[in-house]
Amino acid sequence: MDFAPSQTDPAHTCQHPPVFDDAFFEQLIDLFRWRRDVRRFRTDPVPQALVEELVSMATLAPSVGNSQPWRFISVESRERRQKVIEDFNLCNAEALKTYEGERAARYARLKLSGLREAPIHLAVFCDMETLAGKRLGRLTMPETLSYSVVAAIQILWLAARARGLGLGWVSILHPDVLKKTLDVPAEWQFIAYLCLGYPQEEHEDPELVRSQWQARLAEPGRLLHR
Amino acid sequence: MDFAPSQTDPAHTCQHPPVFDDAFFEQLIDLFRWRRDVRRFRTDPVPQALVEELVSMATLAPSVGNSQPWRFISVESRERRQKVIEDFNLCNAEALKTYEGERAARYARLKLSGLREAPIHLAVFCDMETLAGKRLGRLTMPETLSYSVVAAIQILWLAARARGLGLGWVSILHPDVLKKTLDVPAEWQFIAYLCLGYPQEEHEDPELVRSQWQARLAEPGRLLHR
């Protein structure tokens, strides 16, 4: 199968690439600016076909050696969601203990997930033993396999925002607990737990800026020269 | 500084979010479809202001705890570029040795970087010791710091493609050699070496599909349920 020519090859050789004009570019900047990590969701349902479309778009992401190592699970069982929430609460309590004084008080006030409200929960994994890609590009940087999954999540995030959906990435979880809760193959590395739904509010400034946890910085956007 | 309100807060509270309509969504899908990992560049120069705009857009990416750990270096010195190319050649020869027979012959025929032709070289790092974000979201998943840099690269990649530029991610390098060549702080983790320039050709099918190294797969786009 690996050596089969792409089904789409013949059609594409005579295709012309799309033109992305200034108007599109401006809208694209708007999309980047208004893509937020959302933790405040309306409970309105999200059509299953839309979720499937978004996951399908995510597979247009780049991957090292074209390995396509992303694996998506929609978490729907009430029991499994409850276990995820319990693990989040445990991890969040552990995290709180690492702060002191005013910083701890600030942390305690943050809303760090929309796990209870979000209608869609997606768990995203990286298949560390996929044969696709034949290890190309990974000999000196094996971490590029998981990076490929992060790229796919980013595409999904932007597509979701363009469809009016908010996405929140929850990383305050124990990967081993999550894998056990969702009963996934041992060789799947847990990358992200995503909450998806219609946001309660729209804003351009990040949640952690609004809550005065961490301001935007100018420095990291400065290009260094060597 | 961390607790200073965002400069943009007052302006945004009364702003209305942009509307992303179906026409934009169709163009966005086109952008995802036609974003390629480019290794065949024209040598035409790329305006420095455009490179800086793209890097600035990359900083609109999400980051764990709003840590903004991305660091971008434009590699311009002929000597440094030559050292990067030499390391690529070494790594690529090592990688070739891991294949046998027909697969090795195929690998040898692949063009895996545009390092010699691309007018712009960007090295991207993750500052592992940044204080920004105050470790939020990283206690159980420290890898999310480097994932944030991957997200920024993905934004830069899409923005570049929308401006008619091609980007190629080179991972066939020794991170330690690269860090020494570019003389970066010890705490910066090497994430990616990006070639940037106008592409010689436009196509929708990935380079590794065209060269029959790895076909697109249907399986990873299928949403599993739990």
Query: Tell me, what's the pLDDT at B71?
Result: 97
Query: Tell me, what's the pLDDT at B188?
Result: 98
Return mean pLDDT, chain B: 93
* Side-chain half-sphere exposure of B88, counting CA atoms within 13 A: 19
Query: Tell me, what's the pLDDT at B15?
Result: 65
Q: Report the C-alpha gap between A130 and A69 in whole angstroms.
A: 7
Instruction: State residue B31 phi and psi, 5-degree precision.
Output: -60, -45
| Residue B180, amino acid | K
Q: Report the C-alpha gap between A203 and A210 in whole angstroms.
A: 10
Contact A159 B32 (CB under 8 A): yes
Chain A with chain B: Cβ pairs closer than 8 A: 325
CA distance A42 to chain B (A): 17
Query: Tell me, what's the pLDDT at B2?
Result: 35
Query: Tell me, what's the pLDDT at A193?
Result: 98
Q: How are beta strands A166-170 and A70-74 bridged, if at all?
A: unpaired
| Residue B226, amino acid | R
Number of other residues whose CB lies within 10 A of the CB of residue B107: 20
pLDDT tens for chain A, residues 1 to 226: 333 334 444 444 456 889 999 999 999 999 999 999 999 999 999 999 999 999 999 999 999 999 999 999 999 999 999 999 999 999 999 999 999 999 999 999 999 999 999 999 999 999 999 999 999 999 999 999 999 999 999 999 999 999 999 999 999 999 999 999 999 999 999 999 999 999 999 999 999 999 999 999 988 778 999 9
Q: Residue A209 domain-assigned? A: no
- Domain of residue A145, CATH code: 3.40.109.10
Contact B214 A67 (CB under 8 A): yes
Q: Residue A29 domain-assigned? A: no
Q: Residue A219 domain-assigned? A: no
pLDDT 10s digits, B122-161? 999 999 999 999 999 999 999 999 999 999 999 999 999 9
Query: Tell me, what's the pLDDT at B1?
Result: 31
* Side-chain half-sphere exposure of A81, counting CA atoms within 13 A: 18
- What separation in angstroms does the CA of A3 have from each of A145, B33, B78, B206, B213? 21, 21, 39, 14, 7
Q: Which of B60, B64, B110 to substitute to test the interface with A, most A CBs within 10 Å?
A: B60
Paired residues of A194 in beta bridges: A122, A169
Burial B132-170 (b: 16+ CB within 10 A, else e): bbbbbbbbbbebbbbbbbbbbbbbbbbbbbbbebbbbbb
Instruction: State residue B224 phi and psi, 5-degree precision.
Output: -90, 160
Q: Does B78 touch chain A (CB under 8 A)?
A: no
Q: Report the C-alpha gap between A93 and B120 in whole angstroms.
A: 46
Q: Does B91 touch chain A (CB under 8 A)?
A: yes
pLDDT-derived band at B77 (thresholds 50, 70, 90) equals: very high
**B145: which chain A residues are within 8 Å (Cβ-Cβ)?**
none
Q: Residue A97 domain-assigned? A: yes
Sequence-separated (6 or more) residues with CB below 8 Å from residue A218: none
Q: Does B30 touch chain A (CB under 8 A)?
A: yes
- What separation in angstroms does the CA of A45 have from each of A112, A160, B74, B216? 21, 14, 45, 32
Q: Residue B23 domain-assigned? A: no
Q: Residue A159 domain-assigned? A: yes
**B144: which chain A residues are within 8 Å (Cβ-Cβ)?**
171
Mean pLDDT of B1-7: 38
Q: Residue A64 domain-assigned? A: yes
Query: Tell me, what's the pLDDT at B11?
Result: 44
CB-closest option in B4, B52, B226 to A73: B226
Enumerate residues 110 to 149 of chain B having a beta carbon within 8 A of any beta carbon in chain A: 110, 112, 123, 127, 132-141, 143-144, 146-147
**A94: which chain B residues are within 8 Å (Cβ-Cβ)?**
139-140
pLDDT-derived band at B6 (thresholds 50, 70, 90) equals: very low
DSSP string, B55-99: HHHHTTS--GGG---EEEEE---HHHHHHHHHHHHHHHHHHHTT-
Mean pLDDT of B183-209: 96
Contact A151, A62 (CB under 8 A): yes
What are the residue ranges of helices labelled H in chain A? 9-13, 22-34, 48-58, 78-96, 101-109, 144-162, 175-182, 207-210
Token pair, residue A144, equals 């590029």
pTM of the model: 0.93
Query: Tell me, what's the pLDDT at B222?
Result: 85
**Number of domains chain B contains:** 1
pLDDT 10s digits, B169-180? 999 999 999 999
**B146: which chain A residues are within 8 Å (Cβ-Cβ)?**
143, 147
CB-closest option in B32, B171, B212 to A144: B171
Burial B4-43 (b: 16+ CB within 10 A, else e): eebeeeeebeeeebbebeeebeebbbbbbbbbbbbbbbbe
Work out the percent of chain B whose per-residue pLDDT is above 90.
90
Q: Residue A221 domain-assigned? A: no
Query: Tell me, what's the pLDDT at A4?
Result: 36
CA distance A116 to chain B (A): 17
Q: Which of B8, B33, B141 to substitute to test the interface with A, most A CBs within 10 Å?
A: B141
Query: Tell me, what's the pLDDT at A41?
Result: 97
Domain around A52: 40-201
**Of B191, B34, B190, B41, nearest in space to B120 by CA:** B41
What's the complex ipTM? 0.93
Query: Tell me, what's the pLDDT at A15?
Result: 66
**A3: which chain B residues are within 8 Å (Cβ-Cβ)?**
212, 215
Contact B145, B136 (CB under 8 A): no
pLDDT at B5 over 80: no
| Residue A75, amino acid | V
Token pair, residue A36, equals 């937020």
